[in-house]
Amino acid sequence: MPYCLNDIKNNFNEEKIKDLIKQYQPPFWVYDANIIYKKIKLLQEFDVIRFAQKSCSNIHILRLMKNKNVKVDAVSLGEIQRALLSGFKHNTNDIVFTADILDDKTLSQVVNFNIPVNAGSLDMLEQLGKASSGHNVWLRINPGFGYGHSKKTNTGGENSKHGIWDPLLAIPIIKKYQLKLIGLHMHIGSGVNYIHLKKVCKSMIENVIKLNQKISSISAGGGLPIPYKFNEKPINIKKYFILWDLARKEISKFLGKKIELEIEPGRFLVAESGILISQVWSVKKMGNKNFVLVDVGFNDLMRPAMYGSYHHISVISGDNRNIDEKKTIKTVIAGPLCESGDIFTQKEGGTIQTRLLPIIKKGDYLIFHDTGAYGASMSSNYNTRPLIPEILLKNDNVMLIRRRQKIEEILSLEI
Ligand SMILES: *Cc1c(COP(=O)(O)O)cnc(C)c1O
């Protein structure tokens, strides 16, 4: 949920942000550890909280998760290395590797470190079995339907590349290589609709019955939404838990054993903990449209350009004038990239929108809210723009947890 910057009780308030701006040259990302802790607490009823690190993979964020007993999901070799570096242990279930393919390098890492694999294809299951008989595996199931905040985040159904369509076909492979089947996993997409969720839970139960294997866990995947707008309601975690808990109990009864319930959120844990601070370098009229240009682009914050995502934007004046929140004009917010789609106020599909914002001047700062998830972790070097710093607030401590990348570091790959 966006925070009102005028409220001194919020850790993200105008004064604090102005201090940070003085100390660190914008643009940069800021996270507040306390917000992450609060979100972790909300999920305490689940047996295992497994952080989908792709949403925010900085090792300092991972360490903070580890300290709160949160486990981690890795979806690449790089993410496995991040997890190990952050203190998650190999030879345990601290890290689960989720993917639909296994290349040679990743396979050998997963085998050497004995990291459980959540298999999204029969091919990778076969490969793993050949290389590491007895390995711990999960099956990621595509239940044949999906859901998501955008077509691009729908992770089930015939149009999704994720998961195994007919998990019955996995059983002979598991038997052949004596793989140890730990659990079944369904990650159906970002967003929650409780009717849809019931369908997912029902499908999980049906799959367990159909496969009839002595698993010990089920995973509800991620996809828990957060309110990106002031008027949106947060998800009812109680209700979410109850539905999955009922499924777990039914599965437990059917198999005659205790079943652990895992949840695997990314966005839910970190989105609200982060903001992006940018500066305005140009205000210009294009016919009747008012454009405000900032020093971050979709190479930094990709979500608006990729999905048409909404991020609340607030203004902090650069010249100490009072911002009149009531006097607003229709504004387009754009970045510096040499690419016309570099617009933060757009709908899915790329239609440019205006946002009612106070009068903005060159030199002001724009704050993009709720950018802790799929913000820094989705950034790229497009237009040869270096990655920007990440800063972590932990009570009264301010830590630079990623320094600004140097242009020479980008170029050095090619020299
Ligand atoms: C991305 C992903 C998640 C997290 O999704 P959120 O919408 O951020 O909660 C969980 N599990 C897997 C396997 C994922 O790929």
What are residue 241's phi and psi, to 5 degrees? -65, -45
Average pLDDT over residues 55-72: 98
**Contacting residues for 63 by C-beta, under 8 A, at least 6 apart:** 86, 87
Distance between alpha carbon 176 and the CA centroid of its chain, in Å? 36
**DSSP output for 329-395:** EEEEEE-SSSSTT-BSSB-TTS-B--EEEE---TT-EEEE-S-SSSSGGG---GGGPPPPPEEEEET
Give the pLDDT of residue 175. 98
Residue 378 CA to ligand 1 center (angstroms) comes to 14
* Alpha carbon distances (Å) from 65 to 50, 56, 223, 228, 296: 9, 11, 18, 23, 28
Average pLDDT of the segment spanning 226-235? 94
**Token match 């990291």: residue?**
115
Q: Please choose from 73, 80, 371 the residue to mutate so as to test ligand 1's pocket, defined by most ligand atoms within 8 A of CB.
A: 73
Per-residue pLDDT band at 307 (split at 50, 70, 90): very high
Show which residues are catalytic: 338
Global pTM reads 0.96
Residues with CB under 6 A from ligand 1: 52, 54-55, 73, 75, 98, 187, 190, 221-224, 264-268, 373
**Mean pLDDT within 177-191:** 88
Mean pLDDT across the chain: 95
Query: Over 60: is that where the pLDDT of 190 sits?
Result: no
How many helices (H) and strands (E) in the chain?
A: 12, 17
Report residue 191 as tokens: 């967003």
The ligand 1 atom nearest the CA atom of 98: 13
The pLDDT value recorded for residue 158 is 83
**Which CATH class, in words, describes the domain spanning 44-269?**
alpha beta
Sign for the CA dihedral angle at 52, 254, 206, 249 comes to negative
Q: Tens digit of pLDDT for each residue in 64-95?
A: 999 999 999 999 999 999 999 999 999 999 99
265 is in an annotated binding site: yes
Residue 141 is given by DSSP the state: B
Give the pLDDT band of residue 196 (cuts 50, 70, 90). confident
Q: What value does the mean pLDDT take over residues 198-206?
A: 95
Q: Is 267 annotated as a binding residue?
A: yes
CA distance to 119, 229, 279, per residue, from 326 (Å): 53, 18, 22
% of the chain with per-residue pLDDT over 90 = 88
pLDDT score, position 189: 60
pLDDT in the model for residue 191: 63
pLDDT tier, 123 (very low <50, low <70, confident <90, very high otherwise): very high
Question: How do the domains of the chain map onto residue ranges?
Answer: 16-27+272-412, 44-269
Whether the pLDDT of residue 341 is over 70: the answer is: yes
Record: fold of 16-27+272-412: Lyase, Ornithine Decarboxylase; Chain A, domain 1 (2.40.37)
Q: Confirm or deny that 82 is annotated as ligand binding.
A: no
Quote the percentage of the chain above a pLDDT of 70.
Answer: 97
For ligand 1, mutation pick of 54, 80, 97, 138 (most atoms within 8 Å of CB):
54
